[in-house]
Amino acid sequence: MTWRLGSTSWLLPGGWLDNSRIAADLVDDIELLFFDLSRPEFHPTETEIEGLVKLASERSLSYTIHAPTEGVDLASADETVRSRSVEAVGQAISLARRLSSDRVVLHVEPTPEENEARERSDWRRRATRSLEELLDTGLPPAAICVENTTDDLRAIGPVVRELGLSVVLDLGHLERDGH
């Protein structure tokens, strides 16, 4: 197993490339935060993408892509929302390929109601369908990394194991939640 020290892409006010240049002196991997790809100001320009690719080559950096979270619900009971969510994460996967990234971090969170045992099986079925659709993009299963955002790993854990996905343990989330 190889360990690489990483950081998020937003350290100081500035652009994608400016922040990545700062982080490149401190870390091996930069997590590019694409929280809302529906708005152009929330994803890099062509010039920035070219600069990020060049920076990675020069500094032996890797990038991890954080898929959109704004309005994204991969296990939504509303088929339109679920489908749009898969599309938004698919857009992040496309950006990841352009940046030679081999990992995409995403959230799959049940609502408190869905976390109840009687609702969990339907929620897992919808989550599984979305994640299988994302696997259809050709991304290897281990490259899809489900992040702990609350206690949701208990709910999504069986799906992660079944599909061979990875987990991202966010230490800040663990600390916040008293674990």
97 three-class SS: helix
Taking the C-alpha atoms of residue 63 and residue 17, their distance in angstroms, rounded to an integer, is 12
What separation, in Å, do the N-terminal and C-terminal C-alpha atoms of the chain show?
Answer: 25
Contact assessment for residue 150 and residue 111, using Cβ atoms and an 8 Å cutoff: no
CA atoms within 13 Å, Cβ hemisphere of 14: 13
Q: Rounded to the nearest 5°, which phi and psi values hold at 95?
A: -65, -40
Contact assessment for residue 5 and residue 28, using Cβ atoms and an 8 Å cutoff: yes
Taking the C-alpha atoms of residue 132 and residue 135, their distance in angstroms, rounded to an integer, is 5
Band of residue 169 on the pLDDT scale cut at 50, 70, 90: confident
DSSP annotation string for 23-80:
HHTT-SEEEEE-S-TTSGGGS--HHHHHHHHHHHHHHT-EEEEE---TT--TT-SSHH
Taking the C-alpha atoms of residue 119 and residue 127, their distance in angstroms, rounded to an integer, is 13
- In this model, does residue 165 exceed pLDDT 70? yes
Residue 100: other Cβ atoms inside 10 A:
13
Band of residue 78 on the pLDDT scale cut at 50, 70, 90: very high
Over residues 27-63, the pLDDT tens digits come to: 999 998 887 777 777 778 889 999 999 999 999 899 9
Over residues 5-17, the pLDDT tens digits come to: 777 777 788 888 9
